[in-house]
């Protein structure tokens, strides 16, 4: 076996950890339980022990890796530059290749991954959700206490379901959005899977803002999932299959930039080069495409505004999505864009860690995700914003659920929706006059 062919994660990357512990306070699972084995340092130690054959990949060991959110808060916190995100990604892939999960776990994971990366299937699920919510079935289900009889993961999924409307089934994106004036950039938009189905208004707002900022946008209708959810769960082959299809479609657009408005998708697409590093047929293509990927706030910040902003008088708290703040190091751009809206008051949360969503982590590990999310919601309630802004659909769904459960009526929006309201001088998302 070569030095880099360890069974869990590359030995070279594992050895970069000097076990100093500086990363521990940043880790949400360490904050929750104070357990070394549920900290980045403990998990790296466990990866090494498995790699050295000192520990088998037992159910308990897998549990410590499963409980990692993949939030990457430990990456910028590490003075030695340990690439924990690559380590956990490799470890997860190895677990999925070699570890036999329980039948119930396999069935639940199978259900998630045959649904969420496929917008058409997700729309069918939304149709049944609409029936469930609008026919009074949901009310009855809760009234009779039947929801408590559901297995814990399904019970959590039921709670996560946001209120849905017919518009989520009927929304269509154009294939081409011309710039309002002389084009400054030619972009291709990835509409996302969860974003496209649950938050179609975010994609519509993105197109309007980009058009107003003189960007021409193409939206390939056949473009599906980028593979982000699968890669975060260690389903490497599935992620590669989805990524290959997306790369082929995006290459054909010949766009200067691939614009993304969901943090989890953007961070994963920027790592496409790494995903295909051992595949000579795809490595260069994937890396070339990955270099073109930018979050929408990066694109707008780099171009600078041309569309006039109108006042939006609202108190806003901005939630840093982990896959934007930690994975892509994008913190200042969304704040600068929001602060440039006249009349908008931007308040900071005292908790910049994960909300518990973390890809599909909140579906797979609902109790831990809830505990972590409650800390985030505490910090939101402490600053009492009128609107909570988040650039990732998973975070928005998770925080919405926890706010609903606490009976708090705080609206949520994507930063691009606020810019859209300001540019159009239109009511805020979710307001009565909208
Ligand atoms: S990951 Fe970095 S910060 Fe954490 S223990 Fe290792 S070297 Fe220290
Ligand atoms: S990715 Fe997040 S949850 Fe996992 S070890 Fe790092 S800080 Fe902790």
What is the full per-residue pLDDT of the chain (434 aa) written as tens digits?
333 444 566 778 899 999 999 999 999 999 999 999 999 999 999 999 999 999 999 999 999 999 999 999 999 999 999 999 999 999 999 999 999 999 999 999 999 999 999 999 999 999 999 999 999 999 999 999 999 999 999 999 999 999 999 989 999 999 999 999 999 999 999 999 999 999 999 999 999 999 999 999 999 999 999 999 999 999 999 999 999 999 999 999 999 999 999 999 999 999 999 999 999 999 999 999 999 999 999 999 999 999 999 999 999 999 999 999 999 999 999 999 999 999 999 999 988 889 999 989 999 999 999 999 999 999 999 999 999 999 999 999 999 999 999 999 899 999 999 999 999 999 887 665 55
Mutate which of 78, 79, 86 for ligand 1 pocket (most atoms within 8 A of beta carbon): 78
| Cα 93 to ligand 1 centroid, rounded to whole Å | 22
Which ligand has its closest atom nearest to the C-alpha of 80? Answer: 1
Q: Is 381 exposed, middle or buried (0-12, 13-18, 19+ CB in 10 A)?
A: middle
Which ligand has its closest atom nearest to the C-alpha of 64? Answer: 2
Between CA 294 and CA 260 the distance in angstroms is 6
pLDDT at 77: 95
Q: Which helix (H) or strand (E) holds 319?
A: strand 315-319
Q: Within 13 Å and on the Cβ side, how many CA atoms surround 167? A: 9
Nearest residue (by CA) to ligand 1, atom 6, is: 17
| Cα 55 to ligand 1 centroid, rounded to whole Å | 21
Q: Which helix (H) or strand (E) holds 187?
A: strand 185-190
Decide: 216 and 251 in contact? Cβ < 8 Å.
no
| Cα 82 to ligand 1 centroid, rounded to whole Å | 7
Between CA 303 and CA 340 the distance in angstroms is 14
φ and ψ at residue 256, rounded to 5 degrees? -70, -35
Between CA 70 and CA 79 the distance in angstroms is 19
The helix/strand/coil state of 378 is: helix
Q: CA of 40: how far to CAs of 260, 369, 373, in Å? A: 29, 17, 19
Strands 185-190 and 257-260: parallel
Which ligand has its closest atom nearest to the C-alpha of 24? Answer: 1
Mutate which of 65, 72, 233 for ligand 2 pocket (most atoms within 8 A of beta carbon): 72
| Cα 184 to ligand 2 centroid, rounded to whole Å | 39
Nearest residue (by CA) to ligand 2, atom 8, is: 27
Residue at token pair 């939101």: 380
pLDDT at 2: 34
Closest CA to 189 of 177, 180, 181, 201: 177
Is 69's C-beta closer than 6 angstroms to any atom of ligand 2? yes
Strands 387-390 and 411-413: parallel
pLDDT at 7: 53
pLDDT at 1: 33
DSSP 254-278: T-SEEEE--HHHHHHHTTHHHHTTT
Mutate which of 14, 23, 74 for ligand 1 pocket (most atoms within 8 A of beta carbon): 23
Between CA 196 and CA 190 the distance in angstroms is 9
Is 36's C-beta closer than 6 angstroms to any atom of ligand 1? no
Q: Is 283 exposed, middle or buried (0-12, 13-18, 19+ CB in 10 A)?
A: middle
Decide: 286 and 172 in contact? Cβ < 8 Å.
no
Strands 215-218 and 176-177: antiparallel
Between CA 375 and CA 367 the distance in angstroms is 13
| Cα 151 to ligand 2 centroid, rounded to whole Å | 27
CA 195 from centre of chain:
10
pLDDT at 11: 79
Can you tell me which atom of ligand 2 is nearest the CA of 69?
Answer: 3
Which ligand has its closest atom nearest to the C-alpha of 65? Answer: 2
Between CA 270 and CA 273 the distance in angstroms is 7
φ and ψ at residue 110, rounded to 5 degrees? -60, -40
Is 225's C-beta closer than 6 angstroms to any atom of ligand 2? no
| Cα 28 to ligand 2 centroid, rounded to whole Å | 7
Between CA 99 and CA 393 the distance in angstroms is 30
Is 372's C-beta closer than 6 angstroms to any atom of ligand 2? no
Between CA 378 and CA 400 the distance in angstroms is 13
| Cα 37 to ligand 1 centroid, rounded to whole Å | 13
């Amino acid at each position: 076996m070569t030095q880099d062919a360890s069974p869990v994660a590359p030995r070279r990357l594992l050895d970069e950890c000097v076990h100093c512990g500086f990363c521990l306070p940043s880790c949400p699972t360490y904050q929750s339980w104070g357990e070394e084995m549920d900290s980045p340092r403990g998990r790296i130690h466990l990866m090494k022990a498995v790699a050295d054959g000192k520990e088998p990949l037992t159910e308990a060991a897998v549990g410590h890796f499963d409980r990692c959110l993949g939030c990457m808060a430990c990456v910028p916190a590490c003075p030695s530059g340990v690439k924990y995100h690559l380590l956990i990604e490799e470890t997860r892939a190895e677990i999925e290749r070699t570890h036999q999960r329980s039948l119930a776990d396999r069935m639940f994971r199978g259900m998630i991954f045959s649904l969420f990366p496929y917008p058409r299937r997700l729309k069918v699920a939304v149709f049944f959700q609409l029936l469930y919510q609008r026919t009074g079935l949901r009310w009855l289900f809760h009234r009779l206490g039947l929801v408590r009889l559901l297995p814990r993961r399904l019970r959590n999924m039921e709670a996560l379901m946001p209120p849905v409307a017919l518009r989520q089934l009927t929304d269509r994106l154009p294939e081409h959005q011309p710039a309002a004036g002389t084009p400054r950039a030619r972009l291709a938009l990835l509409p996302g899977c969860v974003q496209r189905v649950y938050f179609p208004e975010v994609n519509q707002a993105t197109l309007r803002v980009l058009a107003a900022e003189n960007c021409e946008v193409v939206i390939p209708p056949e473009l599906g999932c980028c593979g982000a959810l699968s890669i975060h769960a260690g389903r490497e082959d599935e992620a590669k299959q989805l990524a290959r299809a997306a790369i082929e479609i995006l290459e054909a657009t010949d766009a200067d930039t691939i614009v993304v408005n969901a943090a989890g998708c953007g961070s994963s697409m920027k790592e496409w080069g790494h995903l295909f590093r051992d595949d000579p047929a795809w490595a260069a293509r994937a890396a070339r495409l990955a270099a073109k990927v930018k979050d929408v706030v990066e694109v707008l910040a780099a171009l600078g505004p041309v569309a006039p902003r109108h006042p939006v008088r609202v108190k806003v708290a901005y939630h840093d999505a982990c896959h934007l703040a930690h994975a892509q190091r994008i913190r200042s751009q969304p704040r600068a864009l929001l602060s440039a809206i006249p009349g908008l008051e931007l308040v900071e949360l005292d908790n910049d860690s994960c909300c518990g969503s973390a890809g599909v982590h909140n579906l797979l590990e609902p109790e831990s995700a809830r505990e972590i999310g409650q800390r985030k919601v505490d910090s939101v309630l402490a600053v009492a914003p009128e609107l909570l802004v988040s650039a990732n659909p998973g975070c928005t769904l998770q925080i919405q659920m926890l706010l609903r459960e606490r009976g708090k009526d705080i609206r949520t929006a994507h930063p691009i929706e606020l810019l859209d309201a300001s540019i159009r001088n239109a009511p805020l998302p979710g307001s009565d006059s909208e």
